[in-house]
Structure 1
Amino acid sequence: MTISSEEAQPTAVPYGTPDAPRIAVRGEAHLEFDPETARIGVTVLARGKDRRAALDDLTRRNTTVLDLLKTYGEAVERLETGAFSITPELKEKGRGERIQAYHGRVHITADLTDFTALGELTTRLADLDLTRVDGPWWSLRPDSPAHRKARQKAVKEAVQRAREYAEALGTTLAALVELADIGAEAPQPLHPNAPGGLMRSVQAKGADAAPLDLEPQRQRVHAQVNARFTMHPPRL
């Protein structure tokens, strides 16, 4: 009788055996870190009685905003122009589709790494005509060392918890059987971070407005792992 190599392999026992008891634990880490970037959104508006006037005003104001952002050099890590629109406004009364005005809008996002310049920049932007500033949204970079620290702490927590269970039985761990992120087999959809605050446009009169005093929002990093170990048979 011939036995194939697959049939010769021992069947995995999910709950261990008396000779190799198995421990399953979860390791968690909840840490806080200072943010690494701050994102602001700038919406530039324009309104004119004809399409060309609205477009010219929007182009001029958009250029003013971009030029101001670029004066901050390396403090602005990323600068992007998003949605742009020119929309006609119809008269509410009267027959036919008669246009009363045109509304222009362009949205810009900027990521900053120098938080000392953030308050001054947001104030100067909000002081521009028909300009709205939203944010800042504080965050960590995807490759931030903070994520690694949280994962490592979660693993250490799992090992420590398993050791404590083994010690309670008067024995020690023998080997690591499995280590997995929570949800590794069924990944969950990512949810965007909640905004770190909202600033609405301010129309300052007279002297230049004082820079806003913005306190960075601490970022919470969470990591979870499942771990399974075998331990030396305890004497019960």
Structure 2
Amino acid sequence: METTPTHTPYGTPDAPRVAVRGEARLEVDPEIARIGITVSARGTDRREALADLTRRNAAALDLVKTYGEAVEKLETGAFSISPQLTKHGRGEKIRAYHGRVHITAELADFTALGELTTRLADLDLTRVEGPWWALRPDSPVHRRARQQAVREAVQRAREYAEALGTGLAALVELADIGAENTPAYGYGGPAGGMRSAAYAGAPDFAEDAPPLDLEPQRQHVYAQVNARFTMTPPELRASGAR
């Protein structure tokens, strides 16, 4: 008759088990930055408001696109055009129309970012938000942090074993903290070298304001693992034994 092996979560005298946690905290430069651009238009006539919004949206997109490879991603988000009603009087009367388009741009060249941010903010009825600094999901920094956390767990377990005058025998388990509900990594990665370049081919805009001096925000990467090892049985002696 085949017997099922007994689960021993706390080990046995012949195979004592040690459980540790490994942690790693890294501080690195960001690799990308995102900015939010909101283009607006307002007019008493719906078609005129829409035409103004279309023109301003095209101007903002054209400006961003002149930065070429410095812009890694350019996306149009929400679009809206809505009537503004009068507050007083009988009946509902439309006072004006408001239109908005939201654009998101992602850049890896932070020198270009400061210049682009200033030029966008100089456009009519255009609001710029950000930058939001981040790491890429596939950044090697995340791997570095995980590996460092594992090495720290092994070192901690080894120190416990050495305190008992023995050593580690085998790895039993290695797991991320909250492995069943691990959040996705945000954008990010280690910053590459910044480059400075002149961008030609831009449409005729008003005289540019000085580029905004932006200081990239350092990114914090944190990794945790739980690890369990078995140890070679230590020879424990009572204090006072000779």
TM-score (norm 2): 0.87
Cα displacement (A) at 1:149: 0.1
In 1, Cα distance between the equivalents of 2:53 and 2:111?
29
Query: Which of 97, 102, 105 matches 2:100?
Result: 105
Deviations 1:9-44 (A, max 9, x none): 311200000000000000000001111110000000
| Letter aligned with residue 23 of structure 2 | E
Deviations 1:36-62 (A, max 9, x none): 110000000000001101100000000
Match of 2:122 in 1: 127
Match of 2:78 in 1: 83
Alignment gaps of 5+ in structure 2? 188-205, 237-242
Residues 1:59 and 2:54 are matched in the alignment: yes
Summarize the Cα distance change of 1:207–1:61 in structure 2 as closer, same or farther, 3 Å threshold: closer
Query: Which of 132, 147, 152 matches 1:152?
Result: 147
Match of 1:19 in 2: 14
| Letter aligned with residue 229 of structure 1 | F
| Letter aligned with residue 213 of structure 1 | D
| Letter aligned with residue 38 of structure 2 | T
| Letter aligned with residue 216 of structure 1 | P
Summarize the Cα distance change of 1:191–1:48 in structure 2 as closer, same or farther, 3 Å threshold: farther
Match of 1:39 in 2: 34
Within a 5 Å distance, the mapping from 1:172-183 to structure 2 comes to 172-183=167-178
Alignment gaps of 5+ in structure 1? 194-205
In 1, Cα distance between the equivalents of 2:110 and 2:185?
25
Match of 1:227 in 2: 227
Tell me, yes or no, if the aligned pair for 2:86 and 2:94 is still in contact at 8 Å.
yes
In 2, Cα distance between the equivalents of 1:139 and 1:22?
40
Deviations 1:38-97 (A, max 9, x none): 000000000000110110000000000000000000000000000000010000111101
Residues 1:171 and 2:171 are matched in the alignment: no
What is the identity percentage for the equivalent residue pairs of Structure 1 and Structure 2?
78
Summarize the Cα distance change of 1:182–1:40 in structure 2 as closer, same or farther, 3 Å threshold: same
| Letter aligned with residue 139 of structure 2 | S
Cα displacement (A) at 1:192: 7.0
Cα displacement (A) at 1:209: 1.3
Match of 1:216 in 2: 216
Cα displacement (A) at 1:208: 2.9
In 2, Cα distance between the equivalents of 1:38 and 1:113?
6
In 2, Cα distance between the equivalents of 1:231 and 1:188?
30
| Letter aligned with residue 150 of structure 1 | A
Tell me, yes or no, if the aligned pair for 2:24 and 2:145 is still in contact at 8 Å.
yes
Q: Which runs of 4+ in 1 moved over 6 A?
A: none
Residues 1:48 and 2:43 are matched in the alignment: yes
In 2, Cα distance between the equivalents of 1:166 and 1:188?
30
Match of 1:201 in 2: none
